[in-house]
Structure 1
Amino acid sequence: MFFKHLLKINEDLVDKKHLDIFYNYDSKCNLRMAPKLTYLHIHPGPFDKMKVRLAAQVFSATVAAGMSTALNGNLLPIDCQKTIHFINDMDKLFDIFNSRETPNGKIFNRPFNNESPQLDHLIKMTEMFKNLKVINKKNDTDVTNRINFINGWLVSISVLQMLWKSLNSDPNQPYAISTGRVNQDGIENLIGVFRQQHGNSTNPTPVQFIQSFKKIFCLQYFKHSPGANCLEDFDQILTHVSEQPSSNKINQLFAAEEQNHLFNFKSIKIGTVDYRKLNIPEGNAYTYVCGYFMKKCLEKHVCQVCIEYANHQKTLDQSFLLAFFKSYSANDSTNFGKLFMPHDEFYNYVIKLEDIYVDNFSSIAINDNIGSTMKDRLCNVRFSHPCELFNKQFLMDLFIRFRIFTAIRFLNRSMMSETKRKNRKLSILKHL
């Protein structure tokens, strides 16, 4: 409904056009503030609208932080503040209903304990949904009574609180629910198997249901391997293989295969590839990405000098807005939560690396040994760190791997977002 209609909350309008303006700007950046947003998120097809994953990625804290940063940069109109607040509130609501036991910095994504701040946010969202009005964009008519999702959210919020009270047998003991496990996927899959037993019957009778249950139960419960001694035979095979002497011919074969490989390159090993799941921002980009680089460097070596260097920034500046909006902090004494905001010299060093990378990547991308060639051109950039044990070599290797990965990732995504086959073929021919 957010895409089709206007949402009116206490005389304030929530409009999708603000998201469109932000995406049109962000999609053209080299480093993006909302990297998961694609063309399908903004213009979903009939089947894409049913995917909860796409909706959760639109109503996310990353999108809200990116839009807030764009608003402070005068890239969005001032009336988009209500849209940003709505996206941020929906992100917290999604976190509460998808909470997990895995500890992280998001307070609302922790297991639901029916206490503040999770309970306060549920009360806030209940009042918001009760006062929410849906306005048709074409004729400005109120279509709230035709919309079902408002009542659906009100029921879900009420049921969650009732479920917690029902499962909490001892009020004096702390109790929490991992709401991410409370779903009906398992039941739907099981019922789907039963329906297939009678010609894909959508509404099987009780007799058909019992027959299907008995059949599936017997087939699965008494299922056994056709070869009773298969495990023993496999153990004997492993024994024979382990007793065979290593052959030099096999090693020579693999060595020859590596030499004759289609791509001739020497891998830059950094020991971590979790940048593949990193959200990459653009405006205020370097402050956020540099914090990630510093975090990974501290995993190689950490001392008091390195910690002080990594948390050098204390005041909120225009270049730190995205990190400020994305931080999840329960401590009011810091502006950036658990995010690292290193010294200015660190940012200047990464910016110099980025400038050289942008100037040279397009010319060396078609050759072999891209990483090694890029490393030769970056090694002349000077950088000094107060700790002698700080791993500068790892920092450079991580930067090279990170930037090559992001370049390939967003290039592939831009090619996949082509809506017409003609344009997609033209885009492929351009990159041959």
Structure 2
Amino acid sequence: MVQYCNVKGCNTISGQGIKMHKLPKNEDIRSKWIAAISHHDLKFKILKSFSVCELHFRSEDYHIPFTSISNTVQLKKDAVPSIFNKNDSLILLPCTDSSTSTLNMVEVIDDNFSYNENIQGNDHKLSTPSTSHAQPSDQCIAHYDVSKSPKNNDLIDNDDSFITTPTSSKRKRKVFWGDFKTVDDIETPNSRLKYWHASQNVITEQKKTITSLRQINEKLLKQVKTLNNLIDHLKNDKKIISDNCFSVIKESLPVAESELVMKQLNMTSNSKITPELRTFAVTLHFYSPAAYNYVRDSFNKTLPHPSTIRKWYTTVDGTPGFTDECLKAVEIKVKEMKEKNKKLICGLIIDEMCIREDVHFNGSRLQGYINFGQGSEDSDSLPMAKEALVFLVVALNSNWKVPVGYFLTNSLTAQEKANLVTTCLQNLNDVGAIIKTLTFDGAASNISMAKYLGVDLSSNLEPTFQHPSTLENVHIYLDAAHMLKLVRNTLGDWRVLKNQSNGLINWKLFINLVDLQENGGLHLATKIRRRHVMYHKEKMKVSLAAQTFSASVADALTFCEGKKYPGFENSGPTIEFCKYVNNIFDFLNTRNFLGKVKHKRPVYIEQENEINEFINDAIKYIESLKDFNNTPVIDSRRKTGFRGLIVCLKSTRNLFYDIIQTKQLDFILTYKMSQDHIEMLFSAIRSRGGFNNNPSAAQFEAAYKKLLIHTNLSVSKEANCTPQDSTNILYVSSVLKKKPDNFLDVLCVEEEENIGVEYDILDYSPGLDYKHSVIEHIAGFVSKKIMKFFNCMECKEVVINENDSKTYTLIDIKNRGGLTKPSEDVIKLCEIAEKVFMSRIHSTLNSHKNPIDFLVVKVMSNININEYFKSLSDHIYTQSPINNHLLQLIKIISKHYLTIRLHHYNNEGCY
């Protein structure tokens, strides 16, 4: 638009390269402008587009700002137009080649004149401030021929001086790249030319930069005109959100809500955050904090700070998210510990529970879609949740555990899970809890999650990362029970492993042991059964894996190898493997602070050397194991279980130095870091629906809220684990009926038909040695139990063997100081009871209400009491002949043995 100078008599237009100045906004300067122009033009009227050209200002009204790079002159803020007639002063015109003439400075010079430049000849040009933005020398004062001008004296006498050149102040020095260090550098024409070229280069580069940034900004604005454009930009251009995040954000906000989000993102004021923007912010931060920070920075911090997001995660009604009530409960525990001058040290356990894909409307919202605290609950386009990710806090120096939140998910990525863990750690730190351990299982997503937390478990087995808030060490535990199951599965599937000396660790030996026990009818004091070696339908049972590699199995294999039973040759490597795995699991499962048994007692400061020696030896053994191709198992395809045990051992040692040596705790119970706590929570949740293995999202939420109030819950016997600490269990009180000792009278034995008939059962089968060893072991247990029933010292002396020289094969192998060696008479009575039991059990269970009493009578009918406990022959003369201590002793021994065998028979399901 062409602008005209509105001063009367001036016809200057903007197209002539002359600056136009609008009326200033400052009221004082504006009034001075109006007064000056009104003095010249009495009919002056203020117009909306009123302009004054630069020809009405003097040279001293201009200056070059200090911040100007190209020496562009600007009008001073307090300048007032003062030139309204051509005779008032020289008129500024554009400087062109055709209009340039020579002004003889000698003829017009006056004492009032002062110049910045040294006059070096007769012909000079008088320079004034430039009016151009780009070139300082594009404008100059119009030059007049002195011969055509009025006489000098007339000029001097005039009130308004013909020419006035002000004395300019010294300009601040400009420094350019590598040139013009001082003012003297631009005194010569050549240096001034270089100065001008350098300034032009700087201006050119800055113009390019400005143009490039403007184009980038315009391109970005075009891309993010809609929320869909913004999401596409984050996924395709920046690549900082996953496909899952991409689809969830698009589905969680409809078109109308997306427009509201974009409008608020573009606002500069701190307006109230709408629910739509809140949903968008929580969703984006949940899936990618990096993308959230990028969007927040791009839109002038319109989105809330991440700390605000963490507060939004908390809920107060048990819906998905971090539960505010639980965090407050932890905070109360922190205050209680502070009153005792202690710190609350806790461990964090995370795990996922499968839920049934089902959508339920509860009257106010939909339940069943993915939800992580503030997700859209009314959208039916979101994927249905398949899992519930639960966070549980266990106190290491107290006796409580509490879930602090859960999220309904559908295949979370490792980074998304790491973001949630980080947020949980920050929330717990905000309430004062010190988190020292993080426990999870060996799923591939968890191993990848650890990498985002700062621990690479796939290559480096140093399981420690820094807390996001305190920067203190947090030690990672891969749940020992899960690792044990993976080790069992590896050996069971591969059948053979090798130790350091290439000895074979053979799965076949466990099968042979089960076959021997089933064929013999008696067990070598082990819990290994057919289901332990046929574990494929019960892979999740921790007890099966633990009992397979137990010390009792190692003892049984040692016994069989010592007896040279067929199929048990070269059992040494397998026995060694069982003992190492058993000791490692016991060490990672200590739960009694009063424990005294080696590997089962808590970790104390006094055990530093013993702990280091055991951990180093166990790690060395695991690292030496190889598969059939001589590949180390920790580098094989089935490495997770073995690496997990190493991680747990190293974390326990690191935790020892972190909190025991620093005297934050007196001891460590490693069971506190077990996932059993969260597995029992899952079992309790399932039990709310009648042991529903697959509760829906609505059922899970209802059970979760009830658990926050009712803490006393029973745990299913069929759960993956069983409670092993002092967790309160809800129980139903009942009156136990005490069974009377209703033994059949021994004097009535003859009244039973065929009572005295002897069967061939008294002859031993070929497995005599095996059965005899097992019966000896059971007889020792019977002797230990019946000692509680006698106050008579003479009777107590005859049931145990005080002769240490006698050899008991199985008892000696299994004895670690707590087994009882029975006397010969007790062993004989137990052997008679075993024969009666095996011959009568099938018919007795179906025909007698009290099978134990009946079998006791049969045992009594097959013995001659004069041949047992002969040392009591004189002792019984002081007692009743039909109820003396000898008869009571024989009946009690028989009853206890038969009770043990009947329980075993029923548990095995032999009937």
What range describes the TM-score normalised by the shorter chain of this pair?
Answer: 0.5 to 0.7
Residue number among 67, 75, 99 corresponding to 2:590 in the alignment: 99
Q: How far has the Cα of 1:313 moved from its partner? A: 3.5
1:377 is aligned to 2:868: no
- Specify whether residues 124 and 410 from structure 1 end up closer, same or farther in structure 2 by C-alpha distance, changes over 3 A only: farther
Structure-2 residue corresponding to 1:148? 640
Percent of aligned pairs with the same residue?
A: 19
1:40 is aligned to 2:531: yes
- Determine the C-alpha separation between the residues in 2 that align with 1:40 and 1:343: 35
Structure-1 residue corresponding to 2:517? 26
- Determine the C-alpha separation between the residues in 2 that align with 1:199 and 1:359: 56
- Higher relative contact order, structure no. (Cα contacts within 8 Å, ≥ 6 residues apart): 1
Q: How far has the Cα of 1:220 moved from its partner? A: 4.4
- Determine the C-alpha separation between the residues in 2 that align with 1:41 and 1:132: 23
3-state SS of 2:492 partner: coil
Residue number among 807, 818, 822 corresponding to 1:342 in the alignment: 822
Residue number among 345, 353, 356 corresponding to 2:836 in the alignment: 356
1:61-140, aligned counterparts within 5 Å? 61-75=551-565, 76-101=567-592, 106-113=597-604, 114-115=607-608, 119-135=612-628
3-state SS of 1:346 partner: helix
- Determine the C-alpha separation between the residues in 2 that align with 1:81 and 1:60: 15
- Determine the C-alpha separation between the residues in 2 that align with 1:290 and 1:189: 37
Residue number among 311, 315, 321 corresponding to 2:809 in the alignment: 321
- Determine the C-alpha separation between the residues in 2 that align with 1:356 and 1:218: 53
8 Å CA contact 1:96–1:109 kept in 2: the answer is yes
Partner amino acid for 2:831? I
Q: How far has the Cα of 1:156 moved from its partner? A: 0.6
- Determine the C-alpha separation between the residues in 2 that align with 1:64 and 1:403: 27
8 Å CA contact 1:364–1:370 kept in 2: the answer is yes
- Determine the C-alpha separation between the residues in 1 that align with 2:707 and 2:895: 54
8 Å CA contact 1:108–1:118 kept in 2: the answer is no
Q: How far has the Cα of 1:200 moved from its partner? A: 10
8 Å CA contact 1:96–1:179 kept in 2: the answer is yes
Q: How far has the Cα of 1:163 moved from its partner? A: 1.7
- Determine the C-alpha separation between the residues in 1 that align with 2:553 and 2:674: 26
1:396 is aligned to 2:888: no
Structure-2 residue corresponding to 1:253? none
Q: How far has the Cα of 1:402 moved from its partner? A: 4.0
- Determine the C-alpha separation between the residues in 1 that align with 2:596 and 2:525: 19
Q: How far has the Cα of 1:410 moved from its partner? A: 3.2
- Determine the C-alpha separation between the residues in 2 that align with 1:99 and 1:186: 14
- Determine the C-alpha separation between the residues in 2 that align with 1:148 and 1:39: 26
3-state SS of 1:50 partner: coil
- Specify whether residues 151 and 222 from structure 1 end up closer, same or farther in structure 2 by C-alpha distance, changes over 3 A only: closer
8 Å CA contact 2:780–2:822 kept in 1: the answer is yes
TM (norm. structure 2) is 0.33
Q: How far has the Cα of 1:403 moved from its partner? A: 2.4
- Specify whether residues 343 and 118 from structure 1 end up closer, same or farther in structure 2 by C-alpha distance, changes over 3 A only: farther
- Specify whether residues 127 and 376 from structure 1 end up closer, same or farther in structure 2 by C-alpha distance, changes over 3 A only: same
1:3 is aligned to 2:483: no
Number of aligned residues: 336
- Specify whether residues 399 and 106 from structure 1 end up closer, same or farther in structure 2 by C-alpha distance, changes over 3 A only: farther
Structure-1 residue corresponding to 2:659? 167
- Post-superposition CA distance 1:55-108 (Å, at most 9, x none): 001011111111111111211433111101211221122211112327677432
Structure-2 residue corresponding to 1:310? 800
Q: How far has the Cα of 1:142 moved from its partner? A: 6.7
- Determine the C-alpha separation between the residues in 2 that align with 1:23 and 1:105: 32
Residue number among 285, 295, 298 corresponding to 2:784 in the alignment: 295
- Determine the C-alpha separation between the residues in 2 that align with 1:130 and 1:45: 26
- Determine the C-alpha separation between the residues in 1 that align with 2:704 and 2:844: 59
3-state SS of 1:45 partner: helix
Higher strand fraction (1 or 2)? 2
TM (norm. structure 1) is 0.65
Residue number among 546, 549, 560 corresponding to 1:56 in the alignment: 546
Structure-1 residue corresponding to 2:465? none
- Determine the C-alpha separation between the residues in 2 that align with 1:112 and 1:391: 49
Residue number among 651, 664, 668 corresponding to 1:177 in the alignment: 668
Between 98-107 and 69-78, the greater mean CA deviation after superposition: 98-107
8 Å CA contact 2:829–2:894 kept in 1: the answer is no
Q: How far has the Cα of 1:53 moved from its partner? A: 1.4
3-state SS of 2:603 partner: coil
8 Å CA contact 1:301–1:391 kept in 2: the answer is no
3-state SS of 1:284 partner: helix
- Determine the C-alpha separation between the residues in 2 that align with 1:403 and 1:103: 34
- Determine the C-alpha separation between the residues in 1 that align with 2:791 and 2:707: 56
- Specify whether residues 295 and 9 from structure 1 end up closer, same or farther in structure 2 by C-alpha distance, changes over 3 A only: same
8 Å CA contact 1:26–1:34 kept in 2: the answer is no
- Post-superposition CA distance 1:386-426 (Å, at most 9, x none): 465967525524533542553454355256xxxxxxxxxxx
3-state SS of 1:299 partner: helix
Partner amino acid for 1:376? V
Partner amino acid for 1:384? F
8 Å CA contact 1:135–1:142 kept in 2: the answer is no
8 Å CA contact 1:268–1:401 kept in 2: the answer is no
- Post-superposition CA distance 1:226-248 (Å, at most 9, x none): xxxxxxxxxxxxxxxxxxxxxxx
Structure-2 residue corresponding to 1:406? 901
8 Å CA contact 2:497–2:628 kept in 1: the answer is yes
- Determine the C-alpha separation between the residues in 2 that align with 1:150 and 1:303: 54
8 Å CA contact 1:98–1:180 kept in 2: the answer is yes
Partner amino acid for 2:786? C
Unaligned runs of 5+ in 1: 202-211, 224-264, 270-280, 329-336, 416-430
- Post-superposition CA distance 1:36-66 (Å, at most 9, x none): 22222101125x2232211001011111111
- Specify whether residues 106 and 284 from structure 1 end up closer, same or farther in structure 2 by C-alpha distance, changes over 3 A only: farther
Partner amino acid for 1:36? K
8 Å CA contact 2:590–2:601 kept in 1: the answer is yes
8 Å CA contact 2:498–2:628 kept in 1: the answer is yes
- Determine the C-alpha separation between the residues in 2 that align with 1:221 and 1:22: 48
8 Å CA contact 2:589–2:670 kept in 1: the answer is yes
- Post-superposition CA distance 1:258-282 (Å, at most 9, x none): xxxxxxx97659xxxxxxxxxxx95
Structure-1 residue corresponding to 2:163? none
- Specify whether residues 325 and 302 from structure 1 end up closer, same or farther in structure 2 by C-alpha distance, changes over 3 A only: farther
- Determine the C-alpha separation between the residues in 2 that align with 1:414 and 1:158: 43
- Specify whether residues 309 and 399 from structure 1 end up closer, same or farther in structure 2 by C-alpha distance, changes over 3 A only: closer
3-state SS of 1:4 partner: helix
Q: How far has the Cα of 1:187 moved from its partner? A: 5.1
- Determine the C-alpha separation between the residues in 2 that align with 1:200 and 1:365: 44
8 Å CA contact 1:300–1:391 kept in 2: the answer is no
8 Å CA contact 2:826–2:893 kept in 1: the answer is no
- Specify whether residues 111 and 386 from structure 1 end up closer, same or farther in structure 2 by C-alpha distance, changes over 3 A only: farther
Structure-2 residue corresponding to 1:366? 846
Q: How far has the Cα of 1:341 moved from its partner? A: 0.9
- Specify whether residues 358 and 174 from structure 1 end up closer, same or farther in structure 2 by C-alpha distance, changes over 3 A only: same
